Structure 1
Amino acid sequence: MRKFLVAALLALGTLTATMAEAGATLNRVMATKTLKVATNGAWPPQSFLDDRNQLVGFDIDVANEVARRLGVKTRFDTPDWATMTGGHWHGRWDVAIGSITPTKARSQVVSFASVYYYSPYVFVVHRNSKARTAADLNGKKIGVETATTSEDYIRRRLAIDDPGAPPVKYLVNPGQVHTYADSMLPFDDLRLGDGVRIDAVLAPEQTALRAIKSGYPIKIIPNTIAYKEPLAIVTDKDDPQWTAKLHDVIQAMRADGTLGNLTRKWYGRDYTQ
């Protein structure tokens, strides 16, 4: 009996040590068979509701593929941007997959598991605009989504937390900055006419191309990229094992071509390099 108890205690200790090594978040995900994902609800083509009121998009496909490789299902939530990137989730979500830039400010409250693609930010004007270069927008009214890198950039305070990122060069001195609650609202104002409410929008190239494809009377200022931002899978702080696990999953998706295929599906080109 004593030998049996010793063996049982040793086995329990091994199991406990294994669970501790796996990390609390991974343990919870595997126990519930559910990956709770925070993402955007209205940011096409990254994530948006389709005609059947289903959440679809590039980030949704990435999240579903991560879950598939973990052997679990996804459950999506669409909190506001500041909450999603503010950390201190207290278990509400296991991961945020929402095309989030790893900035130095955000690194204080969340962890970045892995960069999974890159997004060029461009200046977009009404098709009747006479602006041909970024310099033509100096002193103009620029629209950006609030609490994003586009706002940080136009206010000249962008600090990307990525050792491989080139130094940020500020191309425009705006006259006014207009902020919006989601990514499409500045385009809605821009479509009203050149200078009616705003003169230009600073946004991801992917979002701008989607708006153009949807019939918005706008155009991208050619040969001008404000900055090229890395986008990362985000986890809450204090669970390095979970962050490392997601890093491995994303690297495997990159190596076997899955990420490249998904960017081509939604954007028409490979944005993973």
Structure 2
Amino acid sequence: MKTKLAVLAAAVAMLAAPAFAGETLDRVMKTGKLTMSSDPEYPPQSFLNDSNELDGFDVDVGKEIAKRLGVDFGIETPAWEVIIAGGWSGRWDISVGSVTPTKARAQVLSFPAIYYYTPASFAVHTDSSVTSLEELNGKVIGTCGGCTYDAYLLKDLVIDAEGTPPFEYQVTAGELKTYETDTNAFDDLRLGDGVRVDAVFSALPTIQEAIKNGYPMKVIGEPAFYEPLAVATDKGDPEFDAKIAEIVGEMHKDGTLKALSEKWYGVDLTTVQ
């Protein structure tokens, strides 16, 4: 039943999508509002702060894009799988959600601009005796489902963005556990070394933020790969894509993205390291 409902929902989304195709920029300018999809549990990219408001690097980037468009800013929080499925039907206009542009995703989404790069890293519990990536082979590894991290562990990762550094598959999981968000995987690891998972795989800044917030984890080895992260839009409006590319390009050029990266990460992640 669940599978049939999912297929039906996808079909409805595909039928609804053309009503907005090519009209995103017009809609945003007429309504005077840019709505962005975001994840409330992905610090420091996006999270609920002490005032119960969404905050973080991605949120700040989205706000700046809206400001330069001359419109107000709003946020929706759909599930990750819904975002990358495309066919948004105008429910939101843009995803500034640390999306990696892949060939599979490019079938349903457009990626008008890369705004930063992030290293993907493994972490284990602080009680773990693992000290190298080689020792992770055969282990139970947790990561977010539908992300580039589980694609890497399935040895099926394709990142075709220009300037992507080459990488090799260095780890073969004995068992791969996928979660709705990276935080859910971290929660299982914090229960203890090997209790539910032996390691987690995520963006290095996300792991570092979790450690800062008290998660008993430690990073292992060098990053497995560096991924370009792009602003994503629903397919169908090249004028909107061109405008977003222009704005993000200006934010790179005038140092705005660099400043936001240093604010949230302490380093400049807006260029390939």
TM over 0.5: yes
Write out per-residue CA displacement over residues 210-249 of structure 1, whole angstroms, 9 at most, x where no aligned residue. Answer: 0110111110013x11110000000111111110100000
**1:72 equivalent in structure 2:** 71
Cα deviation for residue 30 of structure 1 reads 1.1
- RMSD between aligned alpha carbons? 1.0
- The structural deviation recorded for 1:250 is 0.2
Who is 2:139 aligned against? 140
Q: For structure 1, list consecutive stretches of 5 or more residues without a partner in the other structure.
A: 1-22
1:60 equivalent in alignment to 2:51: no
Cα distance in 2 for residues equivalent to 1:155 and 1:230: 19
Q: Is the radius of gyration larger for structure 1 or structure 2?
A: 1
Q: Distance in 1 between matches of 2:122 and 2:136?
A: 9
Q: CA deviation at 1:194?
A: 1.1
CA contact (8 A) 1:141 1:200 kept: yes
Q: d(CA) in 1 for partners of 2:78 and 2:135?
A: 36
Amino acid at match of 1:266: W
| Matches for 1:88-237 after TM superposition, within 5 Å | 88-222=87-221, 224-237=222-235
TM-score if structure 1 supplies the norm length? 0.90
Q: Structure 1 segments of 4 or more deviating over 2 A?
A: none
Per-residue CA deviation, residues 142-195 of structure 1 (Å, 9 max, x unaligned), is: 000111001101111100121321333101111000111111111111111111
Q: Please state whether the residue corresponding to 2:141 is helix, strand or coil.
A: strand
Q: Is the 8 A contact 1:45 1:57 kept in 2?
A: yes
Cα distance in 2 between the residues matched to 1:237 and 1:161: 18
Contact preservation (8 Å) 2:94, 2:232: yes
TM-score normalized by the length of structure 2: 0.90
Once residues 188 and 234 of structure 2 are traced to their aligned partners in structure 1, the CA distance between those partners, rounded to angstroms, is: 35
Q: Give, in whole Å, the separation in 1 of the partners of 2:164 and 2:225.
A: 9
C-alpha displacement of 1:85: 1.2
Counterpart-to-counterpart distance in 1, 2:23 and 2:107: 20
Kindly tell me the number of residue pairs found equivalent between the two proteins.
250
What SS does the corresponding residue of 1:157 show, helix, strand or coil? coil
